[in-house]
Every structure is written in C-alpha cells, then in structure tokens.
C-alpha cells in the first residue's frame, strides 16, 4: 500500500497547491481562505461519495444473511481467519461476474458481488475471490482505491482519458498480484482463485461493462478488468494480464508447467 499511497498523497498535494496558488494569485489572502475551504469541502465530498458512487454505478443493493446465508458463512469464516471485521455485503444485478470492495477502513468496508459472479463460480472459487477482496482490506489497499474512486467520480463525466489517467496513477496494477498471493494463502487454494480469474476474465471479454460515467471511476476496484480492451478501452486498463496472474498462482500451488 505504501508505494501507491505515496502517489495518492503526492497527487493530492499537487492539486491542493495548484488550488491555493491560483486562489492567492487571484484574490490574495481572501482567495487563500476560500481555496482552503474549497479543499476541505472537496475532501469531504470525496470521502463521503466514494462508496455511494461506486455502489450506485453498479446499482447494488444490500443483501441480508437471511437472504444469502451461504455467502455470509464464507465471509465470516474468512474474516475469522484473517482477524477482520465482517464487511457489509451487497449484490449488483450485473450479469458480468465480478466483485469489488470499497471503504476507507476495515470497519467500513463493503463487498459487492455481481449476480453473474454468484451464478458462475463454484463455492470454492467464490471463497477464493472473497479471500482476495479481504486481502485488499487487510493490506489497507481499499483506503487509497476508494479515495481514488471518489476523486475520479468527480470528473467521471468529462472525457474518459482524464479519469483513466487519474485512476492509473493512484491505483497501479501491481496491487492485484499482492492481493492474489495473500488471498490464495487465506483461502488455502491458489488453483481455485486461478480458475475463478479465468472464468471472470473470459466473461468480461464477452460482455464488457461500458467504460463511462461512474463505472469508469469504479473499474479499478474490481477483481478483474471489466471493460473492453479495444480502442479507447485500453486506456482504462488497471489490472495486470490475467494469464500472468494465473501463472503466478499456479506456481504458488506447485502446479507443473
């Protein structure tokens, strides 16, 4: 988390400095005060809107333990082993199998599965991808990723490349390799995670989500790249190649090659 956490801090510092310098040059001390107030206001908006904007983009709804006891059982078991608080669980009606976690702390984390994910994966594969998401929480990746999603949501309706550059700067793809490793160790089954990634990547390629609006700001939070890799969609790539992720997981499992 430290490497891209520093990136996020640097970006925030540069943006704040630009706002303060511009305000001071234009209005002097009064402008400096107004600029400071503006920065604090935007900071609160980003903090408060990150989770809301991501879940709204996926049209997610909260799911209760009565409605899906099996999902809660898997999450509780993994959280017990990882010594984490049980996150809130949401389900999105999206047919593309995918999953993401948003939240600025382990106590405020929210895990969102798509209906496609719950339908396509076996129980072992579902357990593995849940472990991957909890690894992000344990590593505190979600703090930076959620902040960048909230910031990107503020510019999500301007030309796509701006959102893509903002997200890629603050959420580099290498974080997924680390979460794959930690998640595989937590679940105890690297091959289940490898199998799940293959299924998710294949389905995402056949039915990509639209890389626009709030979805463009939330794509980096998902376990696999949800957008088309053709044309401008390549600008939004925030995940390493699935083939390389699978290769590393197979090596971790001692799979002969």
User: What is the pLDDT at residue 103?
Assistant: 86
- Using the structure block, give the residue that is written with the tokens 């809107």: 49
Residue 238 domain-assigned? yes
User: What is the pLDDT at residue 219?
Assistant: 83
Write the pLDDT tens digit of every residue in 167-186.
665 566 678 899 999 999 99
Q: Are strands 88-92 and 99-102 parallel, antiparallel or unpaired?
A: unpaired
Count structural domains, the chain.
1
CB under 8 Å to 52, separation ≥6 — which residues? none
Cα 1 to the chain's mean position, in Å? 13
Distance CA 247, CA 77 (A): 27
Residue 105 domain-assigned? yes
- Residues of the chain short of pLDDT 50, as ranges, are 1-2, 159, 257
User: What is the pLDDT at residue 116?
Assistant: 95
The 8-class DSSP code of residue 209 comes to B
User: What is the pLDDT at residue 180?
Assistant: 95
Give, rounded to a whole angstrom, the gap between the first and last alpha carbons of the chain.
31
Distance CA 7, CA 12 (A): 9
| Token pair belonging to 7 | 């990136």
Residue 190 domain-assigned? yes
Residue 257 domain-assigned? no
Residues designated catalytic:
133
Contact 133, 90 (CB under 8 A): no
DSSP codes joined into one string, 53-103: HHHHHTT-EE--TTT-HHHHHHHHHHHHHHT-PPPEEEEE--SS--EEEE-
Range(s) of the domain holding residue 94? 2-252
CB under 8 Å to 36, separation ≥6 — which residues? 20
Residue 135 domain-assigned? yes
User: What is the pLDDT at residue 50?
Assistant: 74
User: What is the pLDDT at residue 1?
Assistant: 47
């Amino acid at each position: 988390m430290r490497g891209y956490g520093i990136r996020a801090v640097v970006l925030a510092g540069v943006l704040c400095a630009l706002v303060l310098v511009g305000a001071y040059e234009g209005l002097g001390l009064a402008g400096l005060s107004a600029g400071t107030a503006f920065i604090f206001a935007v900071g609160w908006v980003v903090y408060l809107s990150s989770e809301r904007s991501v879940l709204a983009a996926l049209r997610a709804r909260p799911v209760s333990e009565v409605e899906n006891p099996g999902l809660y059982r898997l999450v509780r078991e993994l959280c017990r082993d990882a010594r984490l608080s049980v996150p809130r669980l949401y389900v999105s009606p999206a047919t593309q199998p995918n999953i993401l976690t948003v939240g600025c702390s382990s106590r405020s984390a929210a895990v969102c599965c798509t209906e496609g994910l719950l339908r396509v994966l076996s129980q072992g594969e579902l357990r593995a991808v849940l472990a991957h998401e909890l690894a992000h929480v344990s590593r505190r990746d979600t703090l930076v990723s959620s902040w960048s999603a909230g910031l990107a949501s503020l510019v999500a309706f301007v030309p796509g490349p701006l959102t893509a550059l903002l997200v890629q700067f603050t959420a580099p793809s290498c974080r997924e390799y680390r979460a794959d490793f930690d998640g595989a160790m937590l679940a105890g089954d690297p091959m289940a995670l490898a199998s799940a990634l293959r299924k998710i990547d294949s389905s995402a390629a056949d039915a990509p989500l639209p890389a626009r609006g709030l979805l463009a700001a939330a794509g980096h939070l998902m376990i696999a790249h949800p957008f088309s890799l053709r044309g401008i969609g390549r600008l939004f790539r925030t995940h390493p190649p699935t083939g390389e992720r699978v290769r590393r997981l197979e090596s971790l499992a001692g799979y002969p090659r």
